[in-house]
Amino acid sequence: MAHRAIQAMPPEFRAHLGPVVVRVDDYAKRDVLDGFGMTSPMQLSGLYTGRPVGIKSVSDSGAMPDMIHLYRQPILAEAKQRGIAIETLVAHVLVHEVGHHFGFSDDDMHWLEDQAD
């Protein structure tokens, strides 16, 4: 589903996603949740780790690859709770995390999502 969502993005965005790894795990790890002050693994459905496109530097060599984490169980639970297709929610979470790859903050992404609704 994540790969289909990426393929549905405009080519201008996809061109900058080549090195980004998409990883699916059941839940975020405890240290990740702790870093956000979250008490339940169901509170986090996606995460971008890495350096946004505009901040990259040649001195980044040897760093871990940029990664989009999708957390399966929270996504499944939210889709069921909201009564929406899993594919729709996966695409929504993925687009949100791609936004972080391009340097948008959570506030920026929420504002953009509100404009699209």
Could you list the pLDDT tens digit for every one of the 117 residues in the chain? 998 998 888 888 888 887 889 999 999 999 999 999 999 999 999 999 988 777 766 666 666 788 999 999 999 999 999 999 999 999 999 988 988 888 888 888 878 777 665
Q: Are 14 and 6 in contact (CB under 8 A)?
A: yes
pLDDT at position 110 is 78
pLDDT at position 86 is 96
CATH number for the domain whose boundaries are 2-52+63-116: 3.30.2010.20
pLDDT at position 12 is 84
Residues 101, 74, 17, CA angle at the centre, nearest 5°?
A: 20
Q: Which residues pair with 49 in a beta bridge?
A: 67
Strands, DSSP E only, in 17-84?
Answer: 21-25, 46-49, 67-71
pLDDT at position 101 is 86
